[in-house]
Chain A
Amino acid sequence: MDETRITRTIDLDADLAEVWRALTDPALLASWLGDEVDLEVRPGGEGTVVDGGERRRARVDEVDPDRRLALSWWPEDRSGPASTVELELEPTAVGTRLVVTETLAPHAATASTGRWGLRLLLLSCCLAPALVRM
Chain B
Amino acid sequence: MNDGLDAVFAALADPTRRGLVARLVREGPTTATDLARALPITRQAVVHHLQALGEAGLVDARRSGREVRYRATPEPLAEAVGWMLQAGARWDRRLDRLRERVEGG
Contacts and interface: CB of A to CB of B under 8 A. Distances in A.
A109 B94 contact: no
Contact of A123 (B4, B77, B95): B77
Nearest to B22: A127
Contacts of B90: 51-52
Given A2-B5, A14-B103, A18-B102, A119 B83 contact: no
Interface residues of A, number: 43
B102 A22 contact: yes
Contacts of A32: 94-95, 97-98, 100-101
Tier of interface size on chain B:
35 or more
B58 A83 contact: no
Prevailing SS type, chain A contact patch: mixed
A26 to B, nearest CB: 14
Contacts of A118: 5, 8
Contact of B77 (A102, A120, A134): A120
A29 B85 CA distance: 23
A50 to B, nearest CB: 12
B25 A127 contact: yes
B57 A113 contact: yes
A31 B97 contact: yes
A134 B4 contact: no
B62 interface: no
Contact of A81 (B2, B83, B94): B83
B79 interface: yes
Closest 9 CB pairs of A and B: A111-B76, A32-B97, A14-B102, A126-B18, A32-B98, A116-B80, A120-B77, A115-B4, A6-B88
Interface of B: 2, 4-5, 8-9, 12, 18, 21-22, 25, 56-58, 74-77, 79-81, 83-88, 90-95, 97-103
23 contacts: A4-B84, A6-B88, A8-B88, A13-B102, A13-B103, A31-B101, A33-B94, A52-B86, A98-B95, A100-B95, A104-B83, A109-B80, A112-B57, A113-B4, A115-B8, A115-B57, A116-B77, A119-B56, A120-B77, A120-B80, A122-B9, A123-B12, A123-B58
